[in-house]
Amino acid sequence: MTVKNEKSDDGKRDVGDAGKEATAANNSINDDLWGSDMYPERRGAKSNYGWFKWLIGAAGRESIDKAKCEDNVYRCIKDSPIVKLMVGALKSSGCEIDIRRHISCEVCAPSVTGGYDSQLNQVVICQNMAHSTNIVRGVLLHEMIHMFDYCRNKLDLKNIDHLACTEIRAANIGHCSFISSMLQGDSSFINIKATHQNCVKRKAKMSIMAVHNVSEEIAEAAIERVFTKCYNDLEPVGRRIRRNSDDMPRAYAEAHLYGYDS
């Protein structure tokens, strides 16, 4: 899942029961697999205060947000090299995307900008949080890496090591190399490697903790167990996307070398 802002998660989560459960069950997560509280429109739990929303104008706002979000998704699928690369890679792996079926713009909790629902094989873009094309592109890339991992590896997202691995990959290929380096200056020219690895670890930890109520320690331990292997696995992009570089078009141009449709 894509967490909105690293700093917003500083508040300690309540890790009581869920954390213990995860330890007791040998690294498997038993809580709600899909963070239903964060994605209220999933699983038919449509909000039940419709009239109130009409009164305050929120319903109008929602349909505007949705149209804008869908427009941004469409633009990214059409124009963004990295998103097109992911679409091609998914297709080559036997998991072709139909944007109406597999991508959904919805209202989410304000702490997240997107998510991947493995049970329905759908990417969720949070229309109330992801307002710009750039953010939507970042969310699409991140969640499509989860989708790719789910397609390629038959991910078991109840297994915290699997979850950690796909979050490491998503942060590595997407956010840490690209979005955060632009927005937050995570990648300075000095010490770029350590900075980058720390960004990946922090981002992956936030994502694990945001949906699954596991403690920081459990999330960190899972990340450390799989870090080297998953950090070095750059499929299907083949290279990290760096700021101010032509990596993005280049990764796309080289997709055929990896055997993916472009």
Residues labelled catalytic: 143
Q: Which stretch binds Zn ion (CB under 5 A): 86-94, 150-158, 202-210, 236-244?
A: 202-210
Distance (Å, rounded) from C-alpha 76 to C-alpha 136?
8
Residues 25-54 close enough to bind Zn ion by CB under 5 A: none
Q: Which stretch binds Zn ion (CB under 5 A): 14-22, 32-40, 87-95, 200-208?
A: 200-208
Q: Which stretch binds Zn ion (CB under 5 A): 7-15, 56-64, 84-92, 204-212?
A: 204-212
First vs last Cα of the chain: how many Å apart?
A: 25
The residue type of 150 is Y
In DSSP terms, 92 is beta-bridged to none
Structure tokens at 237: 């992009």
In 3D space, the residue among 222, 209, 157, 179 whose CA is nearest the CA of residue 8 turns out to be: 209
Distance (Å, rounded) from C-alpha 155 to C-alpha 85?
21
Question: Min. distance of Cβ 166 from Zn ion in angstroms?
Answer: 7
Figure out which of the listed residues 113, 207, 213, 215 binds Zn ion, where binding follows CB under 5 A.
207
Residues 154-173 close enough to bind Zn ion by CB under 5 A: 167, 170
Structure tokens at 99: 């944007």
Asked if 233 and 166 touch (Cβ cutoff 8 Å), the reply is no
Question: Min. distance of Cβ 176 from Zn ion in angstroms?
Answer: 12
The count of residues interacting with Zn ion (CB under 5 A) is 4
Question: Min. distance of Cβ 113 from Zn ion in angstroms?
Answer: 10
The residue type of 220 is E
Question: Min. distance of Cβ 2 from Zn ion in angstroms?
Answer: 6
Question: Quick count: other Cβ atoms within 10 Å of Cβ 20?
Answer: 13
Question: Min. distance of Cβ 195 from Zn ion in angstroms?
Answer: 20
Distance (Å, rounded) from C-alpha 2 to C-alpha 124?
10
Q: Does 177 bind Zn ion (CB under 5 A)?
A: no
Binding residues for Zn ion (CB under 5 A): 1, 167, 170, 207
